[in-house]
Amino acid sequence: MNKLFSIFFCFAAISLFSQKKWNVNFYNEKTGNEISIFADNNEEMPMSSKFTFQLDNLNSTAANEFTVVIPEKAKRFLITKLSPKNPAKSNQFTYTNMTNFGDVTLKDFDQDYIYSLPFETGKTQLVYQGYNGKFSHQKINALDFNLKTGEKIFAAREGKVVEVVDHNTSSCANISCAKFNNNIVIMHSDGSFADYAHLKYKGAAVKIGDVVEKGQLIGFSGNTGFSNGPHLHFSVYLNRIDGKRDYISTKFKTSTSEGELLQEGKTYTKNY
């Protein structure tokens, strides 16, 4: 007589680099001798998860270590199916996973896109920290515009708002204050993300799920988080599963060019 097919299930989620708890749920269902593992992604963007399985007397439809991209708003998204190698023996499995937002498998992006300056038409602003800056941009392609607290911020590129934080009031010139960053994250059509950071308290003019147009008002500048004074931090990146980001250098339309890389220490005028 065959032994009862038994499965021991253990799940451990590893939270990456961020205090935010993403709204992604993983669960399993048993049908006969087969176990299916599903995910519900309640976020407005794709989510990526790297799984590591330990299997005893089980076959998996996926490798024991693999990364899966779960589409935005997906329900009952199949991660893998497990079935017994020998139904006459008991079985067990455990797994851990790391989860991060976006499609971490992306390698390509729109390198030719021309961004709009993220401040008000008619204004001239200084880029006081540029790519690979010495203060907080070491090995990072990011820009700091010297916007004062309360000045308007406009979307540099169209996309969907996928994260909004604007409840913080604290700041300091130390990485320990990064947890107090107020920011807006917008996902672009090529899967890249733009981060608009250091907004003032209650400084967001958009909400998660909003689709914004290029040049649309999205918020107001401030001095929150890892900051040594009021300004707008702007960066574009692709996410990786381990929490690292591949930062992208971006060209902007200015009063003197249809598309140029902005330089630290120079001022730029928006005349459109």
Task: Tell me the two tokens of residue 172.
Answer: 């300091």
Domain boundaries, the chain: 9-101, 114-269
**Identity at 2, one-letter amino acid code:** N
Look over the chain and give the mean of its residue pLDDT values, rounded to a whole number. Answer: 91
- pLDDT tops 80 at residue 1: no
- pLDDT tops 90 at residue 60: yes
Q: What is the mean pLDDT of residues 129-158?
A: 88
Q: What is the mean pLDDT of residues 70-92?
A: 95
**Which residues, including other chains, have CB under 8 Å from residue 165's CB and lie 6 or more apart?**
181, 182, 183, 184, 204
Burial of 251 (0-12, 13-18, 19+ CB in 10 A): middle
- pLDDT tops 60 at residue 101: yes
The pLDDT > 90 percentage for the chain reads 81
pLDDT score at 20: 61
Backbone dihedral region for residue 111 (phi beyond 0: left; psi -120 to 50: alpha; all else: beta) = alpha
Tally: H helices and E strands in the chain: 0, 25
Architecture of domain 9-101: Sandwich (2.60)
Residue whose tokens read 């439809």: 61
The three state secondary structure string of 204-243 is ECCCCCCEECCCCEEEEEECCEECCCCEEEEEEEEECCCC
Which class in CATH covers the domain with range 114-269?
Answer: mainly beta
pLDDT score at 14: 41
Q: How confident is the model at residue 133 (pLDDT cuts 50, 70, 90)?
A: low
Describe the chain by its helix, strand, coil percentages, rounded to 5.
Answer: 0, 50, 50
